Chains A and B, each alone.
Chain A
Amino acid sequence: MIITAGIDVGAFTTKVIILDGDEKIRAKTLARTGGDLARASEEVYTQTLEQAGLGRKQVDYIVSTGFGRYLVPFRDIQVTDITSHARGILHYFPHTRSVLDIGAQSTRAFKIEPNGRVKTFRLNDKCAAGAGAFLVRVAHYLEVPLEEMGPLSLQYQEPQTISSVCAVLAETEIINHISAGVRLEDILKGAMTAIADQSIVLLRRVGVEQEVALSGGASKNIGVVKALEERLGQRINCSSNGNEGSLFAGAMGAAILGQIRLPKLHKKL
């Protein structure tokens, strides 16, 4: 049986999945990437191997993806984030046709075919608006732990509009809201709606299909998920709790692509 590893080195977190030929996950790990990308992938990979009870030589093929995919020294091959995410999302949510991936430093929208091929995509990595970095800034301005901002935002009474698109200029607006005595929850709700609206602009450019999935770090934030569903007027496939498909889509897709590619390579040899 073929065993593959998918390693998704993101700007903020690194995800590793070890997968066998029955599409069974042997182990998976998520950890902060930090400043040294090569070391991050090495550490998280070693940790995952230990968890799976496997030695390095028992893994047949290693596929890297994500922002730091070229900085995984022990990879066999690398694939782009969009290719891996498309595969991974289909594994977790088979009927998905549009995907929104909100990472720390970039946002992507893409449309996929039933076989996992990417039809069209749009990318924003030029501006923090609509990316996880916007949320990180808002959490910092409001002095709220990142993981608490989603649940808090659901307790809104009179949501405030955050009209600044820019993650930096939003600070002044948020400070003005605070000094005007606006409730924290109401400001947070406004921030969630702002990031939802920004990323939906990108999603509409590729087309919103009947089943939309959310992937990337922002999927952990229930406030973002709810805001997206409200603004889109439809439910989205997302595992903000339960299975972790939304976070591991890239790593999963990479591991699956390894499973597909390796037998083809052997045939050629």
Chain B
Amino acid sequence: MYIAGVDVGSTQSKGLIMDDERRILGRSLLDTGANVVKAAERAFALALEDARLDPGDIAYIVGTGYGRYKVTFGHAQISEISCHARGAKLIFPDTRMVLDIGGQDSKAIKVGAEGEVLDFSMNDKCAAGTGRFLVMAASYLDVPLEKIGELSLQAKKPVNITTTCTVFVESEIMSHLARGKKAEDILRGMHSAIASRSISLMSRVGIEEKVTFTGGVTKNIGMVRALEEGLEMTLNVGSESHYMGAIGAALFALERATVLVV
């Protein structure tokens, strides 16, 4: 039996195909863009292609993420908080907490022994502390987004970024540049700023021993290091981290499909 999870995020959509042994057979990643329904359809179609399967092979589809109700072909919709917790538990069984930094929000989730959600706190009101802050930093500094993490690790004299607001931080960056500060030193400051906002989000539910980092920002090595430095611990993070919501959605799909078969 095959099942699918489709995670439609504010910035990127992820599709994932799994079999009933919980093996990942195919996955996809694309920008959500303005047409959310189409993004969901494409994420599913590309994941199917990657798994070399047809839509008819899929027993159950769960949609998750900010655009989960736009997964019109899905059998059920489940919140991304539940999905990230469940996905993280499968990939990293020692997970006790999930930090999910997405394109437009961030969440700290306390996870139980079975991958259930015990508590969570969330910021979706303000771009500070989300992937958007990094996107803006990259554009203000004119550095490609995929390079900012690496570059931030080359900082020798990190600057202290005091502005919270993603709009106002532009002037702070400009004044650092005007004073001859290096891009890497400014970037390190930006990464540390997000790390400390994320850590305070985590403290609201209580920081646990083993933290799994999920969401699009996991691809940024500078962010991983800044968080590890701030938390003084090693994070669970890997190539699946970006797909954690879709993995969790597929696990829920498996659960539901199994109930249906029985």
Which residues of A approach B to under 8 Å, CB–CB?
A: 35, 105, 125-128, 133-134, 137, 164-169, 172, 175-176, 178-179
Contact = CB atoms under 8 A, between A and B. Distances in A.
Please give me the 10 A-B residue pairs with the lowest Cβ-Cβ distance, nearest first.
Answer: A179-B34, A128-B167, A168-B127, A168-B166, A127-B165, A166-B126, A167-B167, A133-B167, A166-B127, A175-B34
B132 A168 contact: yes
Interface string B109-138: 000000000000000111100001000100
Contact of B126 (A137, A165, A172, A176): A165
Contact of A128 (B35, B104, B124, B168): B168
Interface string B99-111: 0000010000000
A9 B164 CA distance: 23
Nearest to B130: A169
14 contacts: A35-B174, A127-B164, A127-B168, A128-B166, A133-B167, A133-B168, A164-B125, A165-B125, A166-B127, A168-B167, A169-B127, A169-B132, A178-B34, A179-B35
* Prevailing SS type, chain B contact patch: loop
Interface residues of B, number: 18
Contacts of B166: 128, 166-168
A167 B133 CA distance: 12
B165 A128 contact: yes
Nearest to B166: A168
A68 to B, nearest CB: 12
Interface of B: 10, 34-36, 104, 124-127, 132, 136, 164-168, 171, 174
Interface centre among B34, B35, B124, B171 (most CB of A within 10 A): B34
Contacts of A126: 164-165, 168
Contact of A169 (B35, B126, B164, B168): B126
Contacts of A134: 167
A128 B164 CA distance: 10
A126 B169 CA distance: 10
Contacts of B104: 169, 172
B168 A176 contact: no
Nearest to B124: A169
Contacts of A167: 165-167
A71 B164 CA distance: 24
A129 B142 CA distance: 25
B183 to A, nearest CB: 19
A169 B123 CA distance: 12
A179 B132 CA distance: 21
A242 B125 CA distance: 38
Interface centre among A134, A137, A179 (most CB of B within 10 A): A179
A166 B167 CA distance: 9
Nearest to A136: B167
Contacts of A179: 34-35
